[in-house]
Each structure stands twice: as structure tokens, then as C-alpha cells.
Amino acid sequence: MPRTIIRNGMILTLDDVGTYLENGALVIDGDRIAWIGQDADAPAAIGEARDGDTVIDATDKIVMPGLVDLHFHTALGKGYNDHLPLWEYLDECWYPLIRALDYDAAYWAAMASYTESIKAGVTTVNDMYRKLDALADAAEVVGIRAVLSNDIALDEFRLDTLQDNVDAFHRSHGANNGLIQVRFGIEWLPLASPELLRDTRALAVELGIGIHIHLNESMSEVENSLERFGKRPTELAYEVGLLGPDVVAAHCVHLNDDEIRMMAETGTHISHNPSSNAKLGNGIARVPEMLAAGINVGLGHDAVECNNSADMFEVMKYSSLVHRAQRQDASLMPAADVLRMATNNGSRALGHDTGRLAVGAKADVILVETNSVEFTPMLRETPVHMTSHLVFAANGGMVDTTIVDGKILMRGRELTTVDESEIVRKANEAFRRTVSRMEVVTRSA
């Protein structure tokens, strides 16, 4: 079987012991990492390149795990209705758009969304949206690792049902050699009920799949839940048994101490989405307290409709800076920890063998170009300096190569599986068609 051999790279493994090789080599055989070591040892360890092998010269490049976008929505309307708070934004933009979707619009929206992520070094998305058949087809064409979930709500809100998600599971779970997985997706408590949460948990156990849910994103959500159920969203999710180690809870901006305890007790994972929370005016999550409680916290961009960028390097920077600014403490959220949130922690939350470079692990690998003023100066002999640059100075445009499951999806900034110009054209056409079908019906909180 042809191999991919990466030579002369600065290998930042982000493994458990923080292995770093200033001049290293890495071999991918099939969908797994087969060897990692000093570049000087590569010829003796792996032999000469064989016919069909791909050899990549990673001189001046950081070789590291692909990024995991733990809270992701395929999106079609970037920059459309850009200055509304969450509830009004949902009613006037997001819900009307996704209710008007057809297969074609969802497919091209996903093609655009996944391609933007691949270009920025994201190898896994945890995507809650609609029309999962279209999303699965797009993910297979692009080649990204995708965990897909429907947008489940009570029937009156005309989104998705539990049965829609069950049907999507049977059609798409395990597709593309396991790169595509399906979970249950709950929109949020204002569009749900205790019974819906209980039914979702029961089916998740029956099918052996996880759950993706928005919780405590805004104070309006918390107030709605208190008014309708007499409990805060996370309190209700805990009481009905929804929370657990198979759950990714997105946002969690407004958790009180008791809700943080519930998250830690149940082993629920949290996706921190600071740039989306800032843009929508929802506040800043209590991430230092979550981490202190032992909660596994990953990072997500949310959606380009409420963020305008799927660049997870930007999300990493926000993840550190907002907490330092809010608490006037420059020691918070150090770069090394934030980088692991975007790799190790996201992978752990989804139960994937990715997010680190180790022999036997899945080959989700990116190469980041450092021969630029953005990475100058840099002390190559220590990972501390490059880690700082990755979190505080880099952007997705510095990703040179993206590899998912051993397959090269971008090399030298050139996409290998899709035609970006076609995606741009088709996604623009799909947006115009979908907007023409939108019906905006506002609803008070």
C-alpha cells in the first residue's frame, strides 16, 4: 500500500508527554500513523520510498494534529443579518433559512462550509444542521471527518424530529469508511420539552450514539426555561438524565456553580465558542471554573452566520484573550492548553483516535508554514515559542497541507478533492434561491 512520508518537519505531536522533534519524520500507512522519529533515523527505520509513495518535504513547517471543530453548523448565509442578538437572529435569519432548505442548498452549503474548514486545518467537524443526507454526501466528497446531527425540536417549530434523526442514522452512520458518524442533535430548550429530552436519551442508548445540544447559551434561554419548567436548562437536562460522557453541550455561557458540578459529575463535554458568543452579545463562559472542575472543554466556531469565519486559529486566540481581558489576568488560558483544547479535547469529546500524533493513531495531520513574518522570530528548538505563535499569531491561511484519515485533501494550499470555484458559484446560487423561499415569522421570547 502506498505511504505518505513527511520529512524534515517540526513535529509537534501533542501526545500525552508532549513529544517534540525539531527535525522529524512521520510515516502514514493507510489511515494510520505508522512511524514517528528523528528525520536522520528515517531511512534505516522505514526504508527508501517505494513506487506510489508520496514524499512531502516539511522544511520550515510545523507538523501537528488536525484541529477539531467541536460545535459546528453548516451555514449558507454568512454576513446576512449581521447585527442582531441571538433570539432575534434565530427568528429573523437562521430558522427561516434552514426551514427553506432543500437537498441542493444544504449540499452546497456543506461543501462551502467543509472546504473552508479544510483550508484552515480543521480535520473534524461536529455539525448540527438539517438535510443530513446532503451533508453526508458533501462530507464524503470533501473527505472531512464529520459527526452529523439533526436539528431536533418540537413539531410546532417545523425543524427536525427524532424520527428524522433516526432515519439519518440508518442511512449515513458509518459511511465513507467510518469517517461519517451520526448523533442526535437537540436545538435548545426553548424549542424542546422534558419529554423530548427523555425520548432522545432513550434512543441514544438504544442506538449507541451520542448527543449534541445547545445549553445555557443566552440569558434569554435561561429565563425561558425558568418560566416554562421552573429550572435552568442544564438543571433540566441533568434531572431527565440527558447529560453524560456521550454528550457535547455547546456554549454553556451561563452556568452557575451547581450546573458546573452537574457537568463534571456526568462527564459531559463542553464546546466553548467564544467568538460566536461575543458577536451575538451572549457573554463569556466560565471556562476557568469548568477546567478547574475537571470538565473536558473543546472549541468550536459555531456557524459562519454568527461568526463570519470558520478559522479555528482565530477561535483559539479569542479563547485565551476574552478570559484574560474579562478577569484582568494574563496567566489564564495559556497557549499550550488552548492548543490542546482545539485538538486533544475535541477528539476526546467525540470518542475519536485523533487530536494527537502517535503511532497507531488515525492519520489526521496538518502542516503549518512558518517561513513568514508572522512566525518571526521563532526558536525552533523549543515548542513553547511555536505554540505561542500558533495560538496568538497564526491564521488558517498558513495551513499548507491537510490530511484526513491518511488522504491528502490539500497540499501547497491546493485542494485535491473539490473545485473551489464551482463551490463558490453553486453556494451563491443556493443562497439566493433559499432566501427567495424564506418566510419570517417572529416570535417573542
User: Could you tell me the mean pLDDT of each successive run of 10 residues in the chain, 445 residues long?
Assistant: 95 97 98 97 91 96 98 90 78 86 97 98 98 98 98 95 98 98 96 97 98 97 97 98 98 98 98 95 97 98 91 98 97 97 98 98 98 95 94 98 98 98 97 89 54
Question: What is the grid cell recorded at 78?
Answer: 454568512
Q: Can the peptide bond before residue 377 be classed as cis, meaning omega within 30 degrees of 0?
A: yes
Residue 8 DSSP symbol = E
Asked if 189 contacts 220 with a C-beta cutoff of 8 angstroms, the reply is no
Give the per-residue pLDDT at 12. Answer: 98
Instruction: Give Dmax over CA atoms of the chain in angstroms.
Output: 69
The pLDDT value given to residue 443: 55
Residue given cell 514524499 in the structure block = 55
Round the CA-based radius of gyration of the chain to a whole number and report it. Answer: 21
Between the alpha carbon of residue 282 and those of residues 236, 273, 373, the distances in Å are 21, 11, 35
Q: How many CB atoms lie within 10 A of CB 17?
A: 6
Can you give the pLDDT at residue 265?
98
What is the grid cell recorded at 41? 533515523
35 forms bridges with which residues in the sheet? 27
- 413, three cell numbers: 494550499
For residues 317 and 168, what is the distance between their CA atoms, to the nearest angstrom?
35
Task: Return the number of other C-beta atoms located less than 10 Å from residue 442's C-beta.
Answer: 9
pLDDT score at 444: 44
How far is Cα 362 from Cα 147, in angstroms, rounded to an integer? Answer: 16
Q: Which three cell numbers stand for residue 273?
A: 465558542
Q: H-type helices in 257-382, by residue range?
A: 257-266, 274-279, 287-292, 312-327, 335-340, 346-350
**pTM for the whole thing?**
0.97
Residues paired with residue 63 on neighbouring β-strands, in sequence order? 11, 367
Cα 84 from Cα 365, distance rounded (Å): 37
Spatial CA neighbour of 277 closest among 248, 245, 307, 257: 307
Q: Are 232 and 256 in contact (CB under 8 A)?
A: yes
